Amino acid sequence: MKKLAFLLTVLLMGQVATVTAQISNADTLTQEIRSYVARNFSKSRTFNLYWETGPSYDYKLKRNNGQEVENGKIKDIHTIKFSINAPVLLLRNFSLYANGRANFYKFEATNDINGEISSIFSKIDDAYCYYNGGLSASYRMKIAGKPLILNASISGDGWDKGFEEVEGTFSAIMMLKNTRTTSFSVGLYGMTLYNQVPVVPIITYWHQFNPRLSVDITLPSRAYLRYQFNDKHRFSLGAQMESERFYMRPDMTDLPQTCLYNETTIKPELVYEFIINKHFYLIARGGGSAIIQSGLYKTNRKGIDGDPLVEFDRSVQPFFNLGFSYNLFK
């Protein structure tokens, strides 16, 4: 179950939306897809900036054998995320995009024994940071009259202490139905992060019940019911899976000098979007965050689809997020 949960989470980090967004063509179908992605996948837009916070909470750290490491409290939580997804080459059936993101995690962690700094989260200079950048190429063709989108990407990541790992992803998505009120696609998504290459099925479904109400589902990552009040205001109710990660140097002698912290969550939420125009969006979201799997792993990712070196746990916590995004295409 833990392996499946993590593999599903990898899918959620904006990759599926980016795959669908990065097709370039002058035909009507491509323009419709671009417009759909811009409206409904904020992380795939050309530019994004988000700030997120939440109340203090208690946490537990333990080994994968159940041995307790530390209990404590995390407070003063602030997360800032910046991402860019820019076209490099746009041809009729092929596109090449450059993308990058920078995440900053600032918080204070203290243990329950004496209130001192946590033995794990003890090396914060200003904030933990995570950087990722790469290239993504897409090619569109037809099989049996159905559009097929093929995508491959390569990216590298790191932090303020240096470069860490390279990974590749690939996907194939076929659009089985596309009308004015309904679209349905299926596909496969894989990545080269492990000893074995995991492949996960993708299902996307969108249906417009009337000009104001629609449902938007991308399995296994997210599902939303959306209500468009007018051209400027939209509310969405649903849930999505997310992954947070950063590199760190825990103050524990029996752990590697540098570890990767990865946190997989499910977030039920209410989202409000103020659509300034077809390019600019202001976004406010709030809800709860529940951990599926979280902890410290080796930086080479070996074993990341199983138990962590040290497991992190907490109760369901509320969150609040404010963001701004810009999309180059209408």
What's the rounded Cα separation, in Å, for the pair 323 and 236? 15
pLDDT in the model for residue 67: 83
What's the rounded Cα separation, in Å, for the pair 324 and 274? 10
pLDDT in the model for residue 1: 43
**Intervals of the chain under pLDDT 50:** 1-2, 4-13, 21-27
What's the rounded Cα separation, in Å, for the pair 242 and 17? 13
Residue 6 DSSP code: H
User: For residue 158, how many C-alpha atoms fall within 13 Å in the half-sphere facing its CB?
Assistant: 8
Interacting residues of 188 by C-beta distance below 8 A, sequence separation 6+: 171, 172, 199, 200, 201, 202
pLDDT in the model for residue 185: 92
What's the rounded Cα separation, in Å, for the pair 195 and 305? 10
pLDDT in the model for residue 7: 47
Q: Locate all alpha helices (DSSP H) within 22-120, ordered by sequence.
A: 28-40
- Per CATH, domain 2-326 is 2.40.160: yes
Domain range list for the chain: 2-326
Q: Are 78 and 244 in contact (CB under 8 A)?
A: no
Closest CA to 178 of 186, 190, 170: 186
pLDDT in the model for residue 169: 87
